[in-house]
C-alpha cells in the first residue's frame, strides 16, 4: 500500500551562488533554468497549465502531490511534458527528455550512495544488482502509479489516444525528469532529501526489495558460507512464441538446490532461487 504523501515543502537551500562545500546552490541552478525558458517555453508562473488531459490542474496541485515546491515552475512543467505534446504544440515547447537524461544520472548516484552506506559488507556485484532493482523502468513506473501521478502528464493527442498515460516507459521517464528538475532547482543535497522521503517510502525500501529478490538473497548466502556464486541453467523451454514457459535450475557447486518455472527466464530463476534460499535457511 502506498503511504500518505508528504506535505508540500519549500527548499531550505541558501540563495548564495555557491555553498561552503562548493556545491552550486539554488541561484546558480535557477539561472540555468531561466536560460532554458528563454529558448522557447512559455511562462507558467500564474499556476495555470494546459495540456494535462480533460481535467485542468494547477502547479500547486502537482507540487502538493510530489511533496516539493519549485522555485522555478518552468522546470516542473517541462519535467512532465512528453515529446508528443511538444511536437503537436503550436508554440515552441520544451519536452522532458534532457531532464530525464540528467535525472537518470542523479538518481543512480543517490541510490548508489545510499546502498554503499547502508550495506557496507556487500561487494560490487550485489550492490549493482540491488541498485538495478530500485531504478529500473518497472520500479520507477510503479512509483509513478503509487504516487497518483497519472493526471500530471502533458501528452500529445495521439499519444493520449493510444494509452500513453499508462505506458511504463513514459511514467518512468517522467519520474527521472522530476529528479533532474529538482536537482537543477535546488541542488544535490535537497534532491537527496526529497528522494529519500518520496522514493524510499513509496517502494524503494531496502528490506522490501530484498525480500522479493531471492537471487540476491541466494548470492549473499552463498558468499556468507564461503561458496562460489550460484549458477543457473535453463532446463526446459516450451510453448509457442507468444506464451513461452521456462524451467530453470540453480546450483551451488554441483548440487542442485532449486528449480523454478516462469513465463520469462528471470521469473523462473527467481522461483528457483526462492526454493534454494528456503532449503539453506531450513538446513
Half-sphere exposure of residue 100, counting CA atoms within 13 Å on the CB side? 17
Would you say 95 and 81 are in contact if contact means Cβ atoms under 8 Å apart?
yes
Which of these is catalytic: 104, 185, 249, 275? 104
Q: Single out the catalytic residue among 74, 176, 213, 269.
A: 176
Task: Provide the terminal-to-terminal Cα distance of the chain, rounded to the nearest Å.
Answer: 34
* Residue at grid coordinates 535457511: 281
- Degrees to nearest 5, angle at CA 217 with 213 and 221: 170
CA distance linking residue 152 with residue 149, whole number of Å: 5
Degrees, nearest 5: CA angle 120-121-123: 105
176 annotated active-site = yes
Pairing of strands 231-238, 48-49: unpaired
**Among 153, 156, 157, CA closest to 171:** 153
Measured at the alpha carbon of residue 81, what is the angle toward residues 76 and 87, in degrees to the nearest 5? Answer: 145
Distance CA 247, CA 229 (A): 20
3-state secondary structure of 261: strand
- What are φ and ψ of residue 234, in 5° steps? -75, 120
104 assigned to active site: yes
Active site residues: 104, 176
Amino acid at each position: 500500500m502506498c503511504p500518505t504523501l508528504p506535505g508540500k515543502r519549500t527548499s531550505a537551500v541558501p540563495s548564495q551562488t555557491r555553498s561552503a562545500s562548493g556545491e552550486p546552490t539554488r541561484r546558480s541552478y535557477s539561472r540555468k533554468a531561466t536560460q532554458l525558458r528563454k529558448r522557447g517555453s512559455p511562462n507558467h508562473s500564474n499556476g495555470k497549465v494546459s495540456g494535462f488531459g480533460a481535467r485542468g490542474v494547477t502547479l500547486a496541485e502537482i507540487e502538493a502531490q510530489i511533496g516539493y515546491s519549485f522555485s522555478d515552475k518552468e522546470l516542473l512543467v517541462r519535467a512532465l511534458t512528453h515529446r508528443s505534446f511538444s511536437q503537436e504544440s503550436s508554440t515552441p515547447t520544451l519536452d522532458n527528455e534532457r531532464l530525464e537524461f540528467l535525472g537518470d544520472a542523479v538518481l543512480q548516484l543517490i541510490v548508489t550512495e545510499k546502498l554503499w552506506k547502508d550495506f557496507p559488507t556487500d561487494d560490487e556485484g550485489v550492490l549493482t544488482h540491488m541498485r538495478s532493482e530500485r531504478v529500473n523502468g518497472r520500479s520507477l513506473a510503479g512509483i509513478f502509479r503509487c504516487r497518483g501521478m497519472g493526471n500530471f502528464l502533458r501528452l500529445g493527442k495521439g499519444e493520449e489516444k493510444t494509452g500513453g498515460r499508462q505506458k511504463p516507459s513514459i511514467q518512468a521517464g517522467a519520474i527521472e525528469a522530476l529528479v533532474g528538475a529538482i536537482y537543477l532547482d535546488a541542488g544535490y543535497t535537497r534532491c537527496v532529501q526529497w528522494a529519500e522521503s518520496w522514493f524510499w517510502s513509496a517502494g524503494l525500501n531496502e528490506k522490501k526489495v530484498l525480500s522479493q529478490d531471492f537471487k540476491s538473497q541466494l548470492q549473499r548466502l552463498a558468499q556468507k558460507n564461503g561458496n562460489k556464486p550460484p549458477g543457473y541453467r535453463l532446463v526446459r523451454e516450451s510453448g509457442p512464441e507468444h506464451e513461452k514457459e521456462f524451467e530453470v535450475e540453480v546450483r551451488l557447486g554441483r548440487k542442485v538446490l532449486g528449480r523454478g518455472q516462469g513465463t520469462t527466464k528471470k521469473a523462473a530463476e527467481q522461483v528457483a532461487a526462492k526454493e534454494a534460499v528456503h532449503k539453506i535457511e531450513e538446513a
